[in-house]
């Protein structure tokens, strides 16, 4: 099946560039040299945001150049991003209960990794505007959600119950990993934490990794597990019909089919 937004050479380079910058943005505290000055992400997140937005625009331009994005894929992207933006407030303040991940993961699976990557970043941006959740955390949320959608599109081929099982396992891991990774935007700068779960500037990588894992288990897992459980249950219950609808929409839209114009003779 043709992806709604296939990854061509140029768009693959754009995704790789965004991913490299994103990984560096999340992980740089682990590799900061001893005695380095660690500043709050609240100061440099706007800079990251200023970098990510042009790169996402670059990705869109690369998709257009590759012939991977047209009016039909943009329309479908807009509908699904609006759906995620509308669903996100339902999980606000409910201990990690967030139904949006079902849409993102199933859309990435059915419509391809390029679509999943763009949908993840765009939908989190739109939902932040919709809910007033714009802050220093937003570019990190956009990046992490984009990776979740990308990963869903890169899963190996499967069908029927095997596909639902594969998606369930992926959803459980991805939604928990999302919470763990998002903690990196503020954990290194949190004050008054016990030494066992606190970030230590300049310490060995293993020391800070263990402290980060302990921090996640102690503070974040209570939100991450309900998110994972809900997502897996919704995939098992509604995954098959949603995948069918998304794939049917993809077939009807005929993504990737060349546009031809038929000339009819005009009577004199």
pLDDT score of 35: 55
Q: 141: closest CA among 116, 154, 123, 155?
A: 123
Handedness of CA 15, 18, 23, 26 (dihedral sign): negative
From the candidate CATH numbers 1.10.3720.10, 3.10.129.10, 2.102.10.10, 1.10.1760.20, the one assigned to the domain spanning 9-253: 1.10.1760.20
- Per-residue pLDDT tens listing for the chain (268 residues): 445 566 777 778 878 888 888 888 888 778 766 555 444 454 555 566 667 777 776 776 666 666 556 677 788 888 999 999 888 877 655 566 788 999 999 999 998 888 899 899 889 988 888 776 777 788 888 889 999 999 999 999 998 999 999 999 999 999 999 999 999 888 888 888 898 999 887 788 889 999 999 999 998 888 899 999 999 999 999 999 999 998 888 777 655 555 454 554 555 4
Q: What is the pLDDT of residue 6?
A: 63
Long-range CB contact pairs, 246-254, < 8 A, 24+ = 246/106, 246/107, 246/110, 246/111, 247/1, 247/110, 249/76, 250/1, 250/2, 250/3, 250/4, 250/110, 250/111, 251/1, 253/4, 253/72, 253/73, 253/76, 254/2, 254/72
- The full set of domain ranges for the chain reads 9-253
Cα–Cα distance, 50 to 92 (Å, whole number) = 26
Pair 208, 199: CB distance under 8 Å:
yes
Cα 127 from chain centroid?
13
pTM as predicted = 0.83
């Amino acid at each position: 099946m043709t992806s709604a937004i296939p990854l061509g050479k140029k768009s693959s380079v754009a995704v790789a560039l965004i991913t490299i910058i994103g990984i560096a943005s999340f992980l740089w505290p682990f590799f900061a040299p001893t005695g380095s000055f660690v500043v709050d992400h609240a100061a440099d997140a706007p800079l990251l945001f200023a970098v990510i937005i042009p790169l996402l625009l670059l990705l869109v331009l690369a998709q257009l150049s590759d012939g991977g994005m047209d009016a039909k894929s943009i329309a479908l992207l807009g509908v699904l991003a609006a759906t995620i933006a509308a669903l996100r407030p339902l999980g606000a303040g409910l201990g990690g209960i967030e139904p949006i991940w079902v849409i993102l993961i199933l859309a990435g699976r059915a419509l391809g990794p390029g679509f999943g990557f763009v949908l993840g970043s765009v939908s989190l941006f739109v939902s932040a505007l919709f809910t007033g959740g714009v802050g220093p955390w937003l570019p990190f949320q956009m990046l992490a959600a984009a990776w979740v959608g990308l990963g869903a599109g890169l899963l190996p081929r499967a069908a029927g119950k095997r596909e639902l099982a594969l998606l369930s396992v992926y959803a459980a891991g991805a939604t928990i990993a999302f919470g763990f990774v998002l903690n990196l935007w503020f954990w290194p700068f949190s004050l008054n934490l016990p030494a066992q779960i606190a970030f230590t500037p300049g310490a060995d990588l293993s020391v800070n990794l263990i402290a980060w894992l302990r921090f996640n288990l102690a503070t974040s897992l209570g939100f991450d597990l309900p998110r994972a459980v809900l997502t897996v249950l919704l995939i098992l219950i509604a995954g098959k019909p949603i995948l069918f609808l998304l794939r049917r929409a993809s077939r009807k839209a005929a993504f990737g089919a060349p546009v031809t114009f038929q000339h009819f003779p005009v009577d004199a």
